[in-house]
């Protein structure tokens, strides 16, 4: 009877997720970008009541001897137990869904799905036993799969080893995950009543290069914990979506890797997965998050408290605040953000309001210098002054440009062309800009080093 109930539960869960996903499809207001709901949680299926057991019944031990419920549950799942008796913990049925979801997300090594079955003791509201659904067929297979996942996580961390700061490491890792992974738009198949469960776990990236929000947020959380960064999960039942909290220097921020890896539709309406990363939802405040993820009152934290994310420092003046998708890399000296025919560069992620790049066209003997001013919404006057190290040459380029890109009125671009002979290496380039009609310019100096611009501190 128990096996029949479990099979029924699986079919019921699959149907519920598929139907809910169809009902909750959310199309972003941004042009051609679609964010898909992911079925972040399906309630545990109640298999009915059992008679009151003796204390410690089931495994022949006192369950209260375990350090806590989480530790015990994970230890049993690592043994691939089909039935886990939890009666002595006195877990109320009203609490079991959240507990199970939190533990399954925090412990990818357990390789348990976020759905499960349970029964309870007659005449009480306490859970007697839990019946997990595993990603693997045996404990031995779980060890093998977890080793694969763990090695992959170590690879991402190693890719950011040469970054000194936490934000720098997280930026590089955030972008590499998005480069390597596609959002799985086919995670649920309502017609065939099938769920691609791999995509709901961080294993999906290393097996199929596909995940949904559960996988993205679980992976990012696990990486944060290995780096010693305090992190957690934030869920919206209203949106059927989950993302991360991250604590940096004592301040909390939101990080939604899923929505920074959006799904585009081309002119024919076909899904187009981009490998470049967006950063609109990377290290942002409650206010910024609520603009697209509904009000904070609709969110649920799995940390025992709801962090206040008030700081906005990382929402402007950083290389990852460019208004287009870029995959940021670090070579030990410079951060690079390739975009189209440009490659914006900086010695630090913090750039102030300006990021710059240099491009050389050897065929026409023209050097193009590009700059991008962010957070500007008024017409500007701009002067670019160039001075080589020996001081023998001083060139000025005077230009006026208003809001520039019509789709991004807070961004201003400026391109400058000159002959290579007129622009020796290690020249000092100063950008002066000010609001038209005023006389107080803002200044940003950049030094050309080895043919690349680097931000000075």
Question: Is pLDDT of 421 > 80?
Answer: no
What's the pLDDT score for residue 347? Answer: 82
What's the pLDDT score for residue 94? Answer: 92
- Phi and psi dihedrals of 237, rounded to 5? -65, -35
Helix or strand run (H / E) with residue 342: strand 342-346
User: How many Å apart are CA 45 and CA 230, to the nearest integer?
Assistant: 32
What's the pLDDT score for residue 22? Answer: 31
Question: Is pLDDT of 216 > 90?
Answer: yes
Average pLDDT, stretch 41-55?
65
User: How many Å apart are CA 420 and CA 363, to the nearest integer?
Assistant: 12
Q: What percentage of residues in the chain have a pLDDT greater than 90?
A: 46
What's the pLDDT score for residue 36? Answer: 40
pLDDT in tens, 335-378: 988 877 677 878 889 887 777 665 555 445 455 566 676 666 66
- 34 Cα distance to chain centroid: 16
58, 85 contact by CB (below 8 A): yes
The model's confidence at residue 433, banded by pLDDT at 50, 70 and 90, is low
Question: Is pLDDT of 239 > 60?
Answer: yes
pLDDT in tens, 65-86: 334 899 999 999 999 999 999 9
Three-state SS at 445: strand
What's the pLDDT score for residue 282? Answer: 98
What's the pLDDT score for residue 245? Answer: 98
User: How many Å apart are CA 233 and CA 104, to the nearest integer?
Assistant: 12
Contact partners, residue 301, CB within 8 Å, separation at least 6: 232, 233, 234, 235, 245, 307
Cβ atoms within 10 Å of 47's Cβ, excluding its own: 19
380, 433 contact by CB (below 8 A): yes
Residue 379 class from Cβ within 10 Å (0-12 exposed, 13-18 middle, 19+ buried)?
middle
User: How many Å apart are CA 383 and CA 375, to the nearest integer?
Assistant: 18
| Terminal CA-CA length for the chain | 69
Paired tokens of 185: 């738009």
Of 234, 418, 453, which Cα lies nearest the Cα of 333? Answer: 453
Report the length, in residues, of the chain.
457
Residue 147 class from Cβ within 10 Å (0-12 exposed, 13-18 middle, 19+ buried)?
exposed
pLDDT in tens, 9-31: 444 444 343 333 333 333 333 34
Lowest mean pLDDT among 4-13, 148-157, 190-199: 4-13
Q: Which residue has the higher pLDDT, 456 or 224?
A: 224
2, 47 contact by CB (below 8 A): yes
284, 314 contact by CB (below 8 A): yes
Question: Look-up: residue for tokens 């997280």?
Answer: 170
Domains and CATH numbers, the chain: 2-134 (no CATH), 148-316 (3.10.620), 329-455 (2.60.40.10)
CA-to-CA dists, residue 314 to 220, 329, 349, 411, 455, angstroms: 18, 18, 10, 17, 17
Indicate the average pLDDT of the chain.
Answer: 76
Helices 166-180/213-226 angle, 10° precision: 150
pLDDT in tens, 319-332: 898 878 889 999 98
Q: Which residue has the higher pLDDT, 397 or 454?
A: 397
Cβ atoms within 10 Å of 438's Cβ, excluding its own: 10
Q: What is the dihedral of CA 281, 283, 287, 293, to 10 degrees?
A: 30
């Amino acid at each position: 009877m128990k096996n029949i109930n479990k099979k029924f539960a699986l079919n019921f869960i699959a149907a519920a997720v598929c139907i809910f996903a169809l009902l909750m499809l959310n199309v972003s207001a941004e042009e051609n970008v679609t964010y898909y709901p992911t079925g972040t949680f399906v309630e545990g299926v109640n298999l009915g009541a059992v008679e009151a057991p003796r204390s410690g019944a089931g495994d022949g031990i006192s369950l209260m001897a375990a350090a806590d419920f989480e530790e015990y549950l994970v230890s049993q799942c690592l043994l691939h137990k089909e039935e886990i008796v939890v009666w002595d913990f006195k877990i109320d049925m009203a609490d079991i869904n959240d507990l199970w979801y939190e533990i399954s997300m925090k412990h990818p090594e357990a390789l348990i799905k976020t759905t499960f079955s349970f029964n309870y003791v007659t005449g009480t509201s306490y859970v007697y036993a839990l019946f997990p659904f595993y990603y693997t067929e045996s404990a031995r297979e779980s060890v093998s799969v977890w080793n694969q996942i763990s090695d992959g996580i170590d690879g991402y961390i190693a890719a950011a080893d040469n970054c000194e700061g936490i934000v720098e490491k997280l930026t590089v890792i955030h972008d590499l995950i998005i480069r390597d992974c596609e959002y799985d738009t086919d995670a649920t198949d309502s017609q065939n009543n099938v769920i691609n469960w791999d995509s709901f776990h961080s294993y999906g990236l290393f097996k199929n290069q596909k995940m949904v929000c559960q996988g993205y947020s679980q992976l990012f959380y696990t990486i944060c914990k290995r780096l010693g960064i305090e992190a957690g999960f934030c869920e919206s039942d209203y949106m059927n979506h989950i993302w991360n909290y991250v604590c940096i220097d004592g301040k909390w921020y939101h990080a939604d890797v899923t929505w920074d890896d959006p799904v585009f539709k081309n002119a024919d309406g076909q899904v187009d997965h981009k490998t470049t990363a967006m950063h609109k939802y990377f290290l942002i405040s409650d206010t910024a998050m609520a603009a697209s993820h509904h009000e904070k009152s609709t969110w649920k934290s799995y940390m025992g408290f709801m962090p206040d994310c008030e700081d906005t420092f990382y929402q402007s003046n950083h290389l990852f605040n460019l208004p287009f998708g870029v995959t940021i890399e670090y070579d030990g000296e410079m951060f690079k953000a390739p975009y189209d025919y440009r490659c914006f560069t900086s010695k630090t992620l913090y750039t102030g309001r300006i990021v710059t790049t240099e491009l050389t066209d050897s065929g026409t003997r023209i050097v193009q210098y590009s700059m991008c001013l962010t957070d500007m919404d008024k017409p500007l006057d701009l002067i670019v002054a160039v001075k080589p190290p020996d001081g023998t040459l001083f060139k000025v380029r005077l230009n006026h440009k208003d809001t520039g890109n019509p789709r991004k009125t807070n961004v201003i671009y400026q391109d400058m062309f000159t002959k290579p002979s007129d622009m020796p290496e290690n020249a000092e380039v100063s950008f002066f800009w000010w609001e038209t009609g005023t006389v107080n310019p803002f200044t940003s100096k950049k030094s050309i080093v080895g043919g690349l611009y680097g931000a000075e501190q």
